[in-house]
Amino acid sequence: MAEKRNFTIAGNWKMNTTLNEAVDLVNKIRSGAADFGRVETIVCPPFISLSKVKELLEGTSIQLGAQDVFYEEKGAFTGEISPGMLSSLCRYVIIGHSERRTYFHETDDVVNRKVKAAIRHGLKPIMCVGENLDEKDAGATESIINRQISLGLSGIESADLLIAYEPIWAIGTGRAATSAYANQVMNYIRELLCKILHTGKALRIPLLYGGSVNAENITDLLSQNDIDGALVGGASLKPDQFLSIIRQANELGSR
Ligand SMILES: O=C[C@H](O)COP(=O)(O)O
């Protein structure tokens, strides 16, 4: 996808920031990000801060995302948040992050239901996939990705979504995948999407890389043909780092 140079940079704040800290963080990002118009910048704070962060982002081009959503519309599901509750607040929602798959036992079927529910409500899912270290070492990366994408997107024809490839062994470890490795897997994902969806649709789906992305490795990663952006964890909590990542994406997109 050498011609596609409108990058997407999403910050996943995970379970970090109180309401006050979220306000402080978004104010710093907002004031620094004004000139980076070629980049679709997304911040994904915890649920409790979505409403306030939405207010603070008004008048900017920075988009808001949630970190999860339930698939039911409403009812007796204590602690859950429905797609209808989110759709008036955010444009994006992360679904199937490996931390949810690992700690909250989310299956591909649950991920699929969530993706369908989000799309039904006009939210853009950022569906996460990725192999763990044992799977990588066993040479099973492609079969794991194949399963997660085929089942996660089962019955879905819309291209209004993003895929985040996050090798689990690279998340929060400071050891990002090499850009060549990430691009190879993401090229596989692109080809898989072309088989599952109409090719024209598949080519429109942004593929984000996630796993120890920082200001030092972002340009190298985004220089790869099949990497359209990044899902950033730890570095998205540091305004200088996050702004540097967006700035570099903007510069690369402007060339
Ligand atoms: O959602 C973000 C990813 O899990 C990456 O996190 P990280 O940048 O801290 O490795």
Q: What are 86-136's pLDDT values in tens digits?
A: 999 999 999 999 999 999 999 999 999 999 999 999 999 999 999 999 999
Do 231 and 18 meet the contact criterion of CB atoms below 8 Å apart? Answer: no
Confidence of residue 57 (pLDDT cuts 50, 70, 90): very high
What is the pLDDT of the chain when averaged over all its residues?
A: 95
| 212 known ligand binder | yes
Output the six-digit token pair for 45: 């704070």
Burial tier of 36 (Cβ tally within 10 Å: 0-12, 13-18, 19+): buried
**Tens digits of per-residue pLDDT, 138-192?**
999 999 999 999 999 999 999 999 999 999 999 999 999 999 999 999 999 999 9
212 lines ligand 1 (CB under 6 A): yes
What pLDDT band is residue 34 in, cutting at 50, 70 and 90? confident
From 166, 216, 241, give the residue whose CB has the most ligand 1 atoms within 8 Å, as the site to mutate: 166
Per the rule left: phi > 0, alpha: psi between -120 and 50, beta: everything else, 39 is: beta
Token pair belonging to 73: 């519309």
Q: How confident is the model at residue 255 (pLDDT cuts 50, 70, 90)?
A: confident
Q: What is the pTM of this model?
A: 0.96
From the candidate CATH numbers 3.40.630.30, 3.20.20.70, 3.40.1390.10, 3.40.50.2300, the one assigned to the domain spanning 40-252: 3.20.20.70
- CA torsion angle for 156, 160, 166, 168 (degrees, to 10)? -40
Q: How many CB atoms lie within 10 A of CB 78?
A: 4
pLDDT at 2 over 70: no
Ligand 1 atom nearest to CA at 14 = 1
- For 253, half-sphere exposure in the C-beta direction (CA atoms, 13 angstrom radius) is 22
For residue 121, the tally of other CB atoms under 10 A from its CB is 17
Give the chain's length.
255
* Confidence (pLDDT) at 3: 57
Catalytic residue among 97, 99, 106, 131: 97
Residue 166 Cα, ligand 1 centroid: separation in angstroms? 8
Cα dihedral: 182, 109, 90, 24 (round 10): -60
Say which residues have a Cβ less than 8 Å from residue 49's Cβ, sequence separation at least 6.
17, 19, 22, 23
